Structure formats: C-alpha cells, structure tokens
Structure 1
Amino acid sequence: MTAPSEAARYSIQMLISDWLLIDGTMDNHVWSAVEQPGGDGAADPDIARRPEVARLGLSVRRAGWDQIAGWPHDLEGFTTWPAPGQTARMSLSGAQWSLVVLALRYWADVDERMSDVDGAARSRGIATSVEQRLVSLGWSPATP
C-alpha cells in the first residue's frame, strides 16, 4: 500500500472562505470520531476506524494551515481575513479529499436535521464543487 506522503495529490483553487467551512467541518468530524456517544459507540458502525478518521481529519486541517498564507493566529485576525473572493490552491491526497467530501455531506445532513437549511446547502454546494473539480483531475472517492 502507498504511504500517505507518497499518495497522489490533487490540487484545486478554491475560495478561502470555503476552506474555512471545510476546516470547521473537519474539526467537528475529528471530535465526533474520538468521542464515544453513549459510551458504547453504537451510533457509529465504523467505530474501528475512528482513530484513522481522526488522524486523517487532523492532517486535512494542518494542510490548510500550512498551505494558506496569512492564516490569523487569533480570533481578531478573522475579522478582516480572508478578503472577499480571496482564493488559495489546496493540495491534498485522494484519501484526504474523500474525507472532506464525505464530512461535508455528513454535516450537511446534521445541519438539515437541526433546521439549518442554509448551512446544509452551503456544505453540499462546496462538496459538489470540490468533487466535480477533482473528478476532472482523475480523482474518485476510492482514490487513496
């Protein structure tokens, strides 16, 4: 099997504001992967994969921090950053992008159940846009 650092990488240009939503989504996904609902994990059929999902999710967040110039170091910095329409080229492995798309769709469903229709639509829109651009580069959800 190919090591994560040797896996094919896929790069797309995207709005930094969209990446910030991805970063927040990955934060939620990582935390939900390590928490045990009800203490028995019965709500999650992939309980055995939780540590792997958490590691992969953290690697996605770190990639964003490393690849996006000007990332603020405090909450006050986010009041003026990113500039409207500011973009960055994001490069992740196939497995990382697969988790991004899966997590965006998963949390869109959560948003919808909580009556956050706008949040759900935004997450689904970003997931679809990312997926379409990656497919044009030869990516598929099963690509490591």
Structure 2
Amino acid sequence: MSASRDAVEIAVENAWLVRIDGVIDNASSVAHRGGAPLDEADALRVLRRRVRAQAPDWPQSIQGFESWTAPGLSSRIRLPEEEWQRICGLLLAYRGRTASLGDQEDQTMSDIVARIREALSA
C-alpha cells in the first residue's frame, strides 16, 4: 500500500462495531496489565473513544445494544488509515487467541478485517 491517507470513512455494521470495541478494550487491558508502556494502553483507549464517538447513539445499557445491533444497521466511522490497519491487526491477533471458540467467531473476525481492507484499498 502506498502512503497512508489522512482519513478513511468506512460503513461498519453496528454489530461489528461492538466486537471491534470489545477487542480494543481487551487489548488495552492486556497492555496495561502486561506492563506495556502506558502510552500504548492510553493510545488504545483513545482509539476506542474515537470509534465510539462516531457511532450514533452508542447504547449505554445492555438492553440498548439489542436493538442497536439489529441486522442492517451501520455507522460511518472515519479514522486515519493507520488506525484502521491497527484495528485489523488487533482483530487478527484476537482471532488467533480465540481460535478454540469455533468457526463462526473466526469467520466473523475475518469478515470484519476483509471489509476494512477492501475499503482501504478502494
């Protein structure tokens, strides 16, 4: 890929955003507990907030997520290309650690990464 673009807007299914949010949160917690530089954990928390801030009506309760993640609902998220690439790396690392959960979760993570990379190459 050539020089990084300043920002790329990608339509992401809300159900996928919940997964992305969880993976970033998990990576941030692992970085913090694992003794990674504080800057690393903080950068992940900032990335998580940036994604959430762009998701309209991010639910504040479990009940809210039930309707917010309905099939067909998506949000347009605009991030620098390198942050999208970082998200892809986090999703792939998570997929590698959770391979025992079964093919469905593995396929979902692969689908999310494929969609992001497709949008980045457009």
How many residue pairs get aligned? The number is 118
Whole-Å separation in 1 of the counterparts to 2:21 and 2:107 = 17
**Relative to total residues, which structure has the larger helix share, 1 or 2?**
2
Q: Once the 2 structures are TM-superposed, how far is the Cα of residue 62 of structure 1 from its aligned partner?
A: 0.8
TM-score (norm 2): 0.84
Map of 1:33 onto structure 2:
31
Correspondences of 1:1-144 after superposition (within 5 Å): 8-36=6-34, 47=36, 50-112=37-99, 114-136=100-122
Structure 2 contact 7–80 (Cα < 8 Å) conserved: yes
SS in 2 for 1:14: strand
Give the AA of the match of 1:69: P
Return the TM-score normalized by structure 1: 0.73
1:43-93 Cα distance to aligned partner (Å, 9 max, x none): xxxx4xx43332222122112221111111122211222332111110112
Q: Is this contact kept in 1: 2:23–2:91, CA < 8 A?
A: yes
Q: Identify if the C-alpha distance between structure 1 residues 62 and 106 changes in structure 2 by more than 3 Å, giving closer, same or farther.
A: same
- The structure having more radius of gyration, on CA atoms, is 1
Gaps of 5+ in 2: none
- Looking at structure 1, the residues matched to 69 and 114 of structure 2 have their Cα atoms a distance apart, in angstroms, of 22
- Between the aligned partners of 1:124 and 1:83, the Cα distance in structure 2 is 20
Paired amino acid for 1:68: A
After TM superposition, where is structure 1 displaced by more than 6 Å over at least 4 residues in a row? none
Q: Which amino acid aligns with 1:118?
A: Q
